[in-house]
Amino acid sequence: MPSKTKILFVDDDPAVRRLFSAGLRTEKALEIESASNGRDALQKLAGFPADIVISDVQMPQMDGMTLLDEIRARYPDIFVLLITGQGAIEESVKAMKAGAYDYLLKPFDFKKIRRILARITDQKSALLKSLPSAKEQRQKHRFENIIGQDPKIFDIFQRVENVAAANATVLITGETGTGKELIADAIHYKSPRRNGPFVKVNCAALTETLINSELFGHEKGAFTGATAQKKGHFEIGDKGDIFLDEIGDIPASTQTSLLRVLETGTFQRVGGTQTLQVDARFICATNKDLSKMVKENLFREDLLYRIKVVSLHMPPLRERKGDILILARHYLKIHCDRSEKKTPPISREAIEMLNRYDWPGNVRELVNVMEHAMIFCKGSAITPADLPEDMTGSLQKKPFKFTISSRSLHEAEAVIILKVLQETNWNLKQAAKELDIARGTLYGKMKKYGFEKF
């Protein structure tokens, strides 16, 4: 019998708490507890392992935004929904920026609430189903290696489930360090080809003179140093999957040969005349803009169409900031377990720095940062002093210069606000702090000057 989804509803008004429980009374798959404020909610969570917390924003003692911060720090796996008033756009934006999964409006629309709860339940169910237990190799590449609550990541989980069962060529795009290889792993180990070979090729690491030999193999005497016949990656990958990482670095001459393999499933070894057949699914990845390379005649357009039958895009970490703490805790525990150390908590100050940082190296950089923090942590918790100096240095306030074309006070104000928004990566809470104004004032000025990048 499936376990119930546990919900903690938080509101200081007893009538609202009764209304919410009554509105979902018929939902037998839900178990609902209530709390009167943020502090009460944290006490309840100690004994009630909620899957979802739904909280009003305006409450005495501890408001909803503070409760959200506390939950993100203590229970990063809990999904948090915040309740805002009709028309409170600023509060809604603020909630999503702070890491809330979604927001609800008063008066309650229980049809919408049920849809959101079902979406969260489906997401958790999909993650559980994706944890195979049969073979050690498959366990190594389960979805828990691709961690997150962000809807963008959940969409990728679902797309991986769909494409894994197919035989279509897949193109995975995204910045360096976003986890493209993990997606390729998941596709292979969840596919019917999982018992076949999984060949990984880093195209960027192969020189132009070697790449054909590595991919297609070569015959004895094909070139100087070819003292014996050698099978290439394509031949080895027969009946399995072949992962071509950094495919944008393949030279033009090899692109032509690769296109033939994709179109006909045939190739010849370098220096050979025998036509060989390969039955393999190709998974490709790149951090380059292949469409732009096509326009610059650096990448074949017909090859691009062949490799992007299915496209998956891995978002950069700065676009899924709600997952930063979840990932940080996960990798910190991994590093501590390997070193046989007790996993320390992450201090609130360190959490703030992790959330403010832009993460140009994405998840790969976060993994290294948490290893650095584990090594240098001498106290009972991870603090900003335990984080790398180049990371903390980039977050220091930097004086900036600007010029304006007139003596207009309004123009000067607009320039300053825009500059601070850009420097804080549009983190409205931090921007308001830097400008030394209330967040409500900042929202008003953004609307006034047409700054609508939320």
Residue 398 has pLDDT above 60, yes or no: no
Looking at the predicted structure, is the pLDDT value of residue 205 above 80? yes
Give me the DSSP letters along 398-433: -------SS--HHHHHHHHHHHHHHHTTT-HHHHHH
Q: How far apart are CA 330 and CA 326, in angstroms?
A: 6
Give the global pTM: 0.66
- Is cis: bond before 107, omega within 30 of 0? yes
Residue 106, classified by CB atoms within 10 Å of its CB into exposed (0-12), middle (13-18) or buried (19+), is middle
pLDDT tens sequence across 331-390:
999 999 999 999 999 988 898 889 888 899 999 999 999 999 999 998 899 999 999 988
Residue found by looking up tokens 């207009």 in the block: 408
Share of the chain above pLDDT 70, in %: 87
Instruction: Kindly report, residue by residue over 102-151, the tens digit of the pLDDT.
Output: 888 888 999 989 988 988 887 776 655 544 433 333 333 345 467 777 87
CA distance 212 to 193: 25
* Contact indicator for 188, 283 with CB cutoff of 8 Å: yes
* Residue 311 and residue 187 in contact, taking contact as beta carbons nearer than 8 Å: no
Residue indicated by tokens 């828990």: 144
pLDDT in tens, 271-318: 999 999 999 999 999 999 999 999 999 999 999 999 999 999 999 998
Distant-in-sequence contacts of 442-446, Cβ < 8 A, 24+ apart = 442/417, 443/90, 445/413, 445/417, 446/417, 446/421
Q: Which of 211-215, 216-220, 229-233, 417-421 has the lowest mean pLDDT?
A: 417-421
Closest to 447 (Cα-Cα) out of 425, 417, 420, 422: 417
Q: What domains, with CATH codes, occur in the chain?
A: 5-128 (3.40.50.2300), 143-313 (3.40.50.300), 318-394 (1.10.8.60), 409-449 (1.10.10)
